[in-house]
Chain A
Amino acid sequence: MAAKEKPRGTDVLYGLIGQARQYGDAIILGRGDPDFDTPAHIVDAGMAALSDHQDEVSPVEGILPLRQAIAERVKKVNGIEVNPETEVVFTNGGQEALFLMVLTVIGEGDGLLVPEPNYNTYKDAVKFAGGRVVSMATYANEAFRVDPNRLKESLTPETRAILLVSPNNPAASVISKEDLVEIVKIAQEHNLYILSDDIYDLLIYDAFEHTSVASLSGAEERTLTLNALSKTYAMTGWRTGWVVGPEQLINKLKTFKANVSGPASIAAQYAALEALTGSQEAMQQMASAYHKRRDMVLSALDEMGFKYGLPQGGQFVFVDISHTGMSSVDLAEEILTREHVLAYPGGAFSEGMDDFIRITFLQTEEKLQQGLTRMKRAMDALSKEA
């Protein structure tokens, strides 16, 4: 098999996606866009806003009923208490929430400690803010645990904040409550902020439990927490996210929001309100489907002889490809070219993750099965040629 190559960063993802689009039968097992469509009752609420609330001028942080619904949600699901008047900002998706959180706490020369692997746009946001990423390694043989001791050793004098993504993207690992308690102590000791990405908090598997770090003693006053409706309610196109946190930080974030984009679409806000307060049946059915699909993917990977980090949460699995001797980019390109199936190379998420690919289970079971069958064919062919 081909010798390892240096990963080419996030640009490689766009190149692979572009290539996949040329194939009429491509199955993309990499992108984080649920195959489900937004439930009809949520669409209806968004459309009702076009006639009933068309003239409504939203404050930059979002309409109050929506912020109240968000406050109730984070209290119920995450154990975080916030004042909807002053401690909630609705954003253009989780992506904008992420961007604004970074701008709020990272300035010129400041460091953001980022456990690897990680969703690469955090690094882009830090670069825009003039800061720098302080990487912290996690390891597959430790289930990508964010080890508090290693975290502490990774701190530099410039570190200003710690990023915690749980479940992690792409590793799908969940940070335990015990580890979070220790991390909060470290943050207190070094006077650091915490940025918490909870976007997959409702998609947890097996006996794992999700803890929102902001719910822990000592964390509340220094933590900004983001979430969004994209993944759990299939609303990726609507751009519906939020950040909650202490008033002082939220005020600063709100100013950035005003200057970056202003308030979100009124239709998106009312659709989000319905998602949070209306029937949860569709969301629960989707979550149930993801559980089933996860098991399907894991069975297929077992059959192909792959090792993987057991997904503790999220919508993907991080697959160990080290036995192939190929770089993640090379392998992704081979599978795509041979069988028109796209899995995302781990090297695009982090330089040290070139021994992994990320496979999402955001396709129908039928398409997922097809994709995995074709992927197996590609792997069998590569093995024979080796």
Chain B
Amino acid sequence: MSKSMEPSHWGLDHPSQPLSQNLIQGVETALKSGMTHYVDVPGIPELRAQVANHKSSQVLKIVSDQVLITAGIQEARFLSLQSLTADKNPVAIPKVVHPGVRGALGVRKLETQSLEVEEDRSLLTETSIEHLLDQEIPLLFLENPSRFSGATYTSDELDKITQFVNAGVTNVIWDEGLGVWNSNFNSVLTYVKNLERTTVIGEIKPGRGIENLQLGYVIASKEKVMAMTALKQIMSICTSTPSQLAAIELFNDESGSERLYETLKQIREQLVFELTKRNIPVLQGESVNTIAFGAAMTSLSDTPLFSRGEIFGCQGFTRVSIPANLDVDSILNELAPTGVN
């Protein structure tokens, strides 16, 4: 397997912060009280309920039966894509998309249809959106925010895409994993009235310290969740119990998330300023945890903070995942001379 195909070279999607000792103690207590056995395939009921409650909006109430807990975001991608393409129809994906999407589709060699994206945002172009209704697309996969640029669809764009879905011609999977890093983020769950054709995936509590415990979610109709649960049973039986217990503890402790957001925002603004000063194009993006720019890195390029744009479908660009302790100068000093890939 080439280095660029390894998930560690896909780059980190989220920064992290230490877990509190109280949280760890809570998990340990639960484990030592006997919670070390198989749990329900779709997830511990309490965690499913917490995710359902967290993702519910005034428009759409999500219930536990519509939630599946997965072993990380990649399993969420795999389960949703493979389950909704049981008939092997092609999937439409943006030209710039997380490599894990193509990877998940490639397991059974499913065909893809590439949709053009705006160069400066890595989101579907207006033309792509307008033409959705003209095309027969059984399944559409979108990221909002983009995992590469961090840009988010506007309300207008979400409206148009939702109209297309409501016209009844397609199913859509939305990856909203980076949404937590955008203060103006609008989840598609505030636009759709039901989950008949809409599936949402993401990480559970990103940036709160449990990233390496590999926890994701799928929100879909009850029927689709049941189908994905059947596939998950074959794949891995259930998601690791300690990981789920940690997430349950986190839902009960909301402290600490705002501080990290502000720190990342400042770092990102500084990076944008410095890169722009050096005439390096920076992709538009509202998510404070990520920045993509038109230059390559040298010796730092093999750390998990950096991803080469080519693996996302964006040649000539680099994505940096911004941690709380990022030294901006270290980035600037490692920019490769022009012409080096």
Residue of A nearest to B1 (CB): A255
Q: Is there an interface contact between A264 and B240, defined as CB atoms closer than 8 Å? A: yes
Residues of A within 8 A of B70 (CB): 261
> Which of B23-31, B120-128, B186-194 interfaces with chain A?
B23-31
Q: How far is the CA of A268 from the CA of B241 in the complex (A)?
A: 9
Known: A43-B36, A50-B246, A265-B213. A57 touches B12 (CB 8 A): yes
Q: Is there an interface contact between B24 and A47, defined as CB atoms closer than 8 Å? A: yes
CB under 8 Å from chain B, chain A span 23-51 = 31, 33, 37-38, 40, 43-44, 46-47, 50-51
Q: Is there an interface contact between A267 and B18, defined as CB atoms closer than 8 Å? A: no
Residue from B18, B21, B74 within 8 A of A260 (CB atoms)? B74
Q: Is B304 an interface residue (CB 8 A)?
A: yes
Known: A237-B238, A260-B104, A265-B243. A59 touches B34 (CB 8 A): no
Q: Is there an interface contact between B31 and A50, defined as CB atoms closer than 8 Å? A: no
B 201-235 to A, binary, CB cutoff 8 A, 1 in contact else 0: 00000000100111000000000000000010111
- Total interface residues in chain B, CB < 8 Å: 53
Q: How far is the CA of A256 from the CA of B82 in the complex (A)?
A: 13
B 35-47 to A, binary, CB cutoff 8 A, 1 in contact else 0: 1111100000000
Q: Is B256 an interface residue (CB 8 A)?
A: no
Q: Is B106 an interface residue (CB 8 A)?
A: yes
Q: How far is the CA of A165 from the CA of B243 in the complex (A)?
A: 30
Known: A125-B234, A260-B235, A264-B214. A237 touches B7 (CB 8 A): no
Q: Is there an interface contact between A265 and B78, defined as CB atoms closer than 8 Å? A: no
Residue of B nearest to A60 (CB): B7
Q: How far is the CA of A53 from the CA of B212 in the complex (A)?
A: 9
Q: Is B16 an interface residue (CB 8 A)?
A: yes
Known: A43-B31, A92-B236, A95-B236. A263 touches B107 (CB 8 A): no
Q: Is B274 an interface residue (CB 8 A)?
A: no
Q: How far is the CA of A37 from the CA of B38 in the complex (A)?
A: 11
Q: Is there an interface contact between A268 and B242, defined as CB atoms closer than 8 Å? A: yes
Q: Is there an interface contact between A259 and B103, defined as CB atoms closer than 8 Å? A: yes
Residues of A within 8 A of B16 (CB): 54-55
Q: How far is the CA of A38 from the CA of B37 in the complex (A)?
A: 8
- The number of residue pairs between A and B whose CB atoms lie closer than 8 Å in the complex comes to 167
Q: How far is the CB of A245 from chain B (nearest CB, A)?
A: 15
Q: How far is the CA of A54 from the CA of B211 in the complex (A)?
A: 8
Q: Which of B34, B234, B238 has the most CB of A within 10 A?
A: B234
Q: How far is the CA of A238 from the CA of B213 in the complex (A)?
A: 11
Q: Is B277 an interface residue (CB 8 A)?
A: no
Q: Is B72 an interface residue (CB 8 A)?
A: yes
Q: Is there an interface contact between B18 and A51, defined as CB atoms closer than 8 Å? A: yes
Q: How far is the CA of A272 from the CA of B278 in the complex (A)?
A: 48
B 62-96 to A, binary, CB cutoff 8 A, 1 in contact else 0: 00000000111111001000000000000000000
Residues of B within 8 A of A128 (CB): 108, 231, 234
Known: A47-B28, A59-B8, A128-B234. A259 touches B18 (CB 8 A): no
Residue from A251, A256, A265 within 8 A of B240 (CB atoms)? A265
Q: Is A239 an interface residue (CB 8 A)?
A: yes
Q: How far is the CA of A372 from the CA of B19 in the complex (A)?
A: 46
Having A43-B36, A266-B212, A268-B242, one finds 19 other A-B pairs with CB under 8 Å, namely: A37-B37, A38-B36, A43-B32, A46-B31, A53-B212, A54-B212, A59-B7, A60-B8, A92-B235, A92-B236, A95-B234, A99-B235, A99-B236, A236-B38, A237-B242, A239-B236, A258-B5, A262-B100, A268-B243
What 4 A-B pairs are tightest by C-beta distance, nearest first? A237-B241, A259-B103, A38-B36, A262-B74
| 22 sampled A-B residue pairs with Cβ under 8 A | A37-B32, A37-B34, A38-B31, A40-B32, A47-B28, A51-B21, A51-B24, A54-B209, A55-B212, A92-B235, A93-B236, A237-B242, A238-B242, A239-B236, A258-B5, A259-B106, A260-B104, A261-B78, A262-B71, A265-B214, A265-B240, A267-B243
